[in-house]
Amino acid sequence: MINFFFACLFILTTPGPGVLSTAGLGAAYGFRAGFAYIAGLFVGSNLVMLAVISGLAAIVFQINGLRTILLIASTSYLIYLAARIAFAGSKVAFIHSEKQPGFWAAVTLQIINPKAYVVGTTMFSGFPIFPDAFLFEVIVKSIILNAVWIPVHFGWLYAGASLKRLNLSDKTQRAINIFMALAMLAVVGLAALSV
């Protein structure tokens, strides 16, 4: 169980679209703005977990071309979110975003996020805790995973919001927003190359 906990901690704290977009949202819009977004990521993450545990994800991904379609959809959506974060509050931006991504944007992100499926598959197919009690193991793993997931995401939101609270110049804040968006896109690129 200890190995599973540390695996959760490592996998969930490493940059992926969810945590990077959370930090970017915090940097662009502030700490409170991220609450609904984190709630959406949480719901979406648990929906993905349910799809992985039930085998639905494995069945769906067997449909010819669907994996490619979802990869294109997720990449496009992440580029859109990255642009909203990068240009939030930017006076010179061609995409000016006053309204931050919210609950449904986050649910959608998790459902089409390739890393969410990889994490779910890795965590629930590996690290046997109770090999003779499948349902009990799923419940225990879900509790541990969510117990790690919540503070990790609030930590990333706080880190991003801390940058905003520093009252940096517009130019510096814009550079941070763009860096956060580019980091998110880099992770998406790495995920796309590994597929």
Q: Strand runs (DSSP E) across the chain, as ranges?
A: none
Q: What is the pLDDT of residue 193?
A: 62
Cβ proximity of 173 and 67 under 8 Å: no
Q: What is the pLDDT of residue 45?
A: 94
> For the segment 138-179, what is each residue's pLDDT rounded down to a tens digit?
999 999 999 999 999 999 999 888 877 787 777 887 787 788
**Res. 50: pLDDT tops 60:** yes
Q: Measured between alpha carbons, how far is residue 25 from residues 18, 71, 87 in Å?
A: 10, 23, 11
pTM score > 0.85 for this model?
A: no
What is the C-alpha radius of gyration for the chain, rounded to an integer number of angstroms? Answer: 17
> For the segment 19-48, what is each residue's pLDDT rounded down to a tens digit?
888 888 888 888 888 999 999 999 999 999
Contacts of 159 (CB under 8 A, 6+ apart): 23, 26
Q: Distance (Å, rounded) from C-alpha 163 to C-alpha 165?
A: 5
Q: Distance (Å, rounded) from C-alpha 110 to C-alpha 87?
A: 22
Q: What is the pLDDT of residue 192?
A: 61
Cβ proximity of 61 and 52 under 8 Å: no
> For the segment 65-120, what is each residue's pLDDT rounded down to a tens digit?
877 777 777 777 777 777 777 776 544 433 445 677 789 989 988 888 777 887 88
Q: Domain locations in the chain?
A: 2-7+34-193
Q: What is the pLDDT of residue 95?
A: 42
Q: Measured between alpha carbons, how far is residue 38 from residues 31, 87, 151, 168, 174 in Å?
A: 11, 20, 11, 25, 23
Q: Distance (Å, rounded) from C-alpha 62 to C-alpha 98?
A: 40
Q: What is the pLDDT of residue 145?
A: 94
Q: What is the pLDDT of residue 80?
A: 79
